[in-house]
A and B are shown apart, each in its own frame.
Chain A
Amino acid sequence: MLHIINKSPFERDNLDSCLRHAGPGSTILFIEDGVYAAMNGTTMADKINEAMGDLTFRVLGEDLEARGIVDKVMDGVERIDYAGFVDLVTESDKVQSWM
């Protein structure tokens, strides 16, 4: 399953809840304000690193650029673009946007 997170983990608990409900083998994609979760050195980093055992993390590059944090992404969170976003959707068996 592809899970989409579009809020900062410091604003909302969407990522928290997603991590509690995402099955092994899932991909979590950070878009919009969700890309802040992909930054290194945050208080969320440990949780995300731990989850990398079971889950794959991706971050939308266009939203990183808009926010000036392109060089601050944590290791292990691969950057994709809108075309890559489309591929993630079609390659996953289903999509869940966490509102």
Chain B
Amino acid sequence: MKLAIQVNTGPYTHQGSDTAYQFTKAALAKGHEITRVFFYHDGVNNGTRLTTPPQDDRNIVNRWGALSEEHGLDMVVCVAAAQRRGLVDEGEAKRNKKDATNIAPGFRISGLGQLVEAAIQADRLVVFGD
């Protein structure tokens, strides 16, 4: 089955990103297709490469990146939500005259239309949030 995932909460503060990750991993293990993981609201904060979690804790950003690389996941960070919260890639830095980028590998910034499109094309949309 085609599953789309929406992640509304940032790393560590809420469990949403963890649960979404575990669900996504389990779905892939069962042979389902994850058509897109869309990060909205504070969920965009899962896409920063600048986190330094303690060594004895899970690295939420990196494990999303690793899962994405292993399975070719399309992980999209909503541009409007990203702009509000300071998630920046090269394109956004140029457009909005920012002096840095912080997007993590495996994530791309794109519009809300990607969420709606994912909901239309997938068989199920599962939302993880607060």
A binds B: yes
- CA distance in complex: A87, B23 (Å): 10
Number of A-B residue pairs, CB cutoff 8 Å, is: 50
Any A CB within 8 A of the CB of B121:
no
Q: Which of B25-33, B44-52, B54-62, B91-99 contacts A (4 or more CB under 8 A)?
A: B25-33
Any B CB within 8 A of the CB of A90:
yes
Q: Which of A15-23, A44-52, A68-76, A91-99 contacts B (4 or more CB under 8 A)?
A: A91-99
Number of interface residues of A (CB under 8 A): 18
Per-position 1/0 for B119-130, Cβ under 8 A of A: 000011111111
Main secondary structure of the interface of A (DSSP, over half): helix
Of B8, B123, B124, the most chain A CB neighbours within 10 A belong to: B124
CB–CB A82/B22 < 8 A: yes
Q: Which single residue of chain B is at the shortest CB-CB distance from A60?
A: B19
CB–CB B124/A97 < 8 A: no
Given known contacts A6-B15, A99-B8, A85 and B127 CB-to-CB distance under 8 angstroms: no
CB–CB A82/B23 < 8 A: yes
Q: Which single residue of chain B is at the shortest CB-CB distance from A7?
A: B130
- CA distance in complex: A33, B18 (Å): 13
CB–CB A97/B26 < 8 A: no
Q: Which single residue of chain B is at the shortest CB-CB distance from A31?
A: B19
**Which residue from A62, A83, A89, A97 sits with its C-beta under 8 Å from B29?**
A83
Given known contacts A82-B22, A85-B26, A94 and B129 CB-to-CB distance under 8 angstroms: no
CB–CB B124/A95 < 8 A: yes
CB–CB B30/A86 < 8 A: yes
Q: Which single residue of chain B is at the shortest CB-CB distance from A96?
A: B127
